[in-house]
Structures are given as structure tokens and as C-alpha cells.
């Protein structure tokens, strides 16, 4: 069967491709750690990261056995231990805030460059590496919107205007100094409306999912203490009547059967697209053209030629490649 080319004549204003990132995405993007070798922990790695500070707190509180989320949530419900928890939170924030993006191209560079300004990335991760990738590629081409669903150690925004920025910057609209958002820690009963910045990002991601043509979930498993997040996401994804023709793409090392069981509510008619590696995903194979690929497959029943991906150890070469790809979008808009 002939394959259609999607590189040329891209759609001028496609609906959003929404990507959700969990801790597994940061671990996959930085398997050897950040620029200085600092490791990206999963939630269940945090007790080891915190060391004696956490083990003593667990011992003193006689918390029931369980994972980090459940134990943290239980301790949080005991007001007498709030000072100790504040110390835990301070140490976690300090650890993540010190992280730096490597000089070489990373999966997060390919991710932000591989999506367009109509697309949205919603991340549950606290680390600053996605934002750093976004910042160092902003001059290359238009990039997707970023939303921090559990906060981020380096994300700052305006209290009045919806601005994506970093600590120390000012709002380009009102010239007010940007305010750093808070982190949302693992509690059994998360309140996504308590913090105005997190509430704003959740409202944005909901609307984006409602209008989306494709949903990619990268390294996020919706753990038990995120049941509210799962409900919100499912409500937004399920409102579109045409979901019968949609697919959910899962970038995860878990087995297909485990993924199918975990995400069955989101996947109509078994329309699941599991891949274990980012570079096998739609974003890597059809960067900045995922809508055109999906349109060809779903409407015309035709496969599309792969557009990418250009892999190299040089960030400059990656940026040059994406600059050329983005120029096709500019030419399409000019016609």
C-alpha cells in the first residue's frame, strides 16, 4: 500500500495532541541522571532519597506499611507531625531544583520540538527538566503549551496572566514579577482547586483533552492517590462523542495486558497503541505532523511515510533539523 507524505502541506491549525507525563517519562528521558548524574527518582524511590529523615519519621509515627504515597498521606493527616513533613518537602524541593539538563539532545528536547503550538503537554512531575528543554528550544520554532498538574520546582507565572515562565522573570503583559508555584504532594484526597496556578493548569488541560484528536500517556500510571486526577481526565476524554475513532497511545515499559487493564476506561474498542520506547511513538515518527498522520489513518485508511526522527548527539543539529521541518508549516500558512 502506498504511503502518504505528511511532511509537506501540514494542516494550518490542527486540534491539540495532548501528552500526559508521569515520573516514568523523566526516568526514561534521563536514564543516567541529569547533567551532573543526579538521578530522577520514582515516587517509591523517595524514601531512599530522603534516607534517615524519612525512616525516623515513619518510625516515630508508627505509620501503617505501604508505599510512599500512602504513608505520606497518612502522616499528613496527623497535625502533630506537620513540622517534620515541612522539612521533608523542603528537602525534596531542593533536590529537584538542583537538576540541570544535559548539553546533548534529550527525549524532552525531541518531545517539545516534535509538537506544535496547538498541542499541550501536561506533566505530573516536579523536576525542572521539561521546562528547561522548552526554554532552550523556544527560538527554534513554535512549541507546545506546558501545564504543571502537580506543580514544578522552577515554574513561575503571573497571578493575573497565564504566563509560562521561570523564577526571576517578569510578566510581559503587566511587568509584575512572576510568582513560583507550589508543589502538590501525594495526599489521598488531592484538592486541585486549592492552589490557583494548579487549578488554572487543570482547567486548561481539561479543555484541551475535550478538543484533542490524540492522547499520549508517557510513563504515567495514575496511582491510587491520583484517583481524582483520573476522574477529571476521563470526564474530559469521554465528553467527545467521536471517541470511537480515537486511540490512546501509551509509552510505557509495562506489558500490554497490564496497560490495557489500567487504562481500559480510556480506550474504546481496544484502541490502544502501546510502545515501550519514545522513539517508536507517533511524536518521534511523525514529529510536528501527528494530526496529519492520524487523519490519514482514521479518515482515509492510508498509512503515512515516517517524517523522522533525526537522531544525533548534537543539539544544534537537532534544532537545525526541526527548523527546516517548521518552515513547511510557515509555507503552508502563507498559501
Both 79 and 215 in one domain: the answer is no
Of 97, 116, 134, the domain-final residue: 97
Both 93 and 115 in one domain: the answer is no
In a domain, 30, yes or no: yes
Both 241 and 117 in one domain: the answer is yes
DSSP-assigned beta bridge partners for residue 251: 218, 275
In a domain, 289, yes or no: yes
pLDDT computed for residue 240 by the predictor: 46
In a domain, 11, yes or no: no
What's the pLDDT tens digit per position in 189-221?
A: 788 888 999 999 999 999 999 999 899 999 998
In a domain, 239, yes or no: yes
pLDDT computed for residue 244 by the predictor: 59
Both 190 and 237 in one domain: the answer is yes
Both 278 and 227 in one domain: the answer is yes
Both 115 and 88 in one domain: the answer is no
In a domain, 1, yes or no: no
What's the pLDDT tens digit per position in 247-299?
A: 789 999 999 899 988 888 887 656 789 999 999 999 999 999 999 999 898 88
d(CA 128, CA 100) in angstroms, rounded, equals 8
Both 214 and 83 in one domain: the answer is no
In a domain, 9, yes or no: no
What's the pLDDT tens digit per position in 56-95?
A: 898 888 888 888 888 888 898 888 988 998 999 999 999 9
Q: Using the Cα atoms of residue 122, residue 128, residue 129 and residue 135 in order, give the sign of their dihedral.
A: positive
In a domain, 203, yes or no: yes
d(CA 162, CA 241) in angstroms, rounded, equals 30
pLDDT computed for residue 26 by the predictor: 96
Of 66, 82, 97, the domain-final residue: 97
Both 186 and 55 in one domain: the answer is no
- Secondary structure (3-state) at 132: helix
In a domain, 210, yes or no: yes
pLDDT computed for residue 198 by the predictor: 94
Both 90 and 125 in one domain: the answer is no
pLDDT computed for residue 97 by the predictor: 95
Is residue 246 within 8 Å of 213, Cβ to Cβ? yes
For 257, the enclosing helix (H) or strand (E) is helix 256-262
Q: Structural domain tally of the chain?
A: 2
Both 49 and 193 in one domain: the answer is no
pTM: 0.93
- Domain range for 227: 17-34+104-334
Both 49 and 30 in one domain: the answer is no
The torsion angles phi and psi of 179, rounded to 5 degrees, stand at -105, 135
Q: How many residues does the chain have?
A: 335
Residue by residue, DSSP assigns 289-317 as -HHHHHHHHHTS---B--------S-HHH
Both 198 and 117 in one domain: the answer is yes
Amino acid at each position: 500500500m502506498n504511503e502518504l507524505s505528511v511532511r509537506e502541506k501540514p494542516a494550518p491549525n490542527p486540534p491539540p495532541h495532548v501528552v500526559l507525563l508521569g515520573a516514568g517519562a523523566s526516568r526514561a528521558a534521563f536514564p543516567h541522571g541529569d547533567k551532573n548524574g543526579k538521578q530522577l527518582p520514582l515516587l517509591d524511590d523517595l524514601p531512599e532519597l530522603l534516607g534517615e529523615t524519612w525512616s525516623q519519621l515513619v518510625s516515630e509515627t508508627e505509620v501503617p506499611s505501604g508505599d510512599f504515597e500512602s504513608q505520606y498521606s497518612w502522616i499528613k493527616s496527623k497535625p502533630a507531625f506537620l513540622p517534620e513533613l515541612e522539612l521533608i518537602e523542603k528537602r525534596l524541593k531542593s533536590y529537584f531544583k538542583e537538576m540541570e539538563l544535559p548539553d546533548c539532545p534529550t527525549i524532552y528536547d525531541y518531545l517539545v520540538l516534535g509538537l506544535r503550538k496547538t498541542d499541550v503537554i501536561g506533566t505530573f512531575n516536579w523536576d525542572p527538566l521539561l521546562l528547561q528543554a522548552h526554554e532552550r528550544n523556544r527560538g527554534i520554532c513554535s512549541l507546545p503549551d506546558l501545564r504543571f498538574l502537580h506543580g514544578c520546582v522552577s515554574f513561575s507565572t503571573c497571578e493575573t496572566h497565564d504566563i509560562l515562565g521561570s523564577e526571576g522573570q517578569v510578566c510581559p503583559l503587566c511587568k509584575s514579577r512572576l510568582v513560583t508555584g507550589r508543589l502538590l504532594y501525594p495526599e489521598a484526597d488531592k484538592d486541585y482547586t486549592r492552589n490557583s496556578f494548579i487549578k488554572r493548569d487543570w482547567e486548561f488541560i481539561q479543555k484541551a483533552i475535550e478538543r484533542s484528536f490524540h492522547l499520549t500517556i508517557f510513563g504515567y500510571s495514575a496511582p491510587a492517590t491520583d484517583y481524582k486526577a483520573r476522574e477529571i481526565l476521563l470526564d474530559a476524554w469521554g465528553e467527545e462523542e467521536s471517541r470511537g475513532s480515537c486511540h490512546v497511545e501509551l509509552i510505557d515499559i509495562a506489558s500490554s495486558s497490564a496497560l490495557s487493564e489500567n487504562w481500559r476506561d480510556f480506550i474504546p474498542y481496544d484502541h490502544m497503541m502501546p510502545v515501550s520506547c519514545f522513539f517508536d511513538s507517533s511524536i518521534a515518527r511523525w514529529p510536528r505532523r501527528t494530526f496529519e498522520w492520524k487523519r490519514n489513518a482514521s479518515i482515509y485508511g492510508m498509512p503515512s511515510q515516517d517524517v523522522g526522527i533525526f537522531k544525533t548527539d548534537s543539539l544544534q543539529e537537532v534544532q537545525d533539523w526541526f527548523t527546516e521541518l517548521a518552515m513547511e508549516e510557515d509555507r503552508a500558512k502563507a498559501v
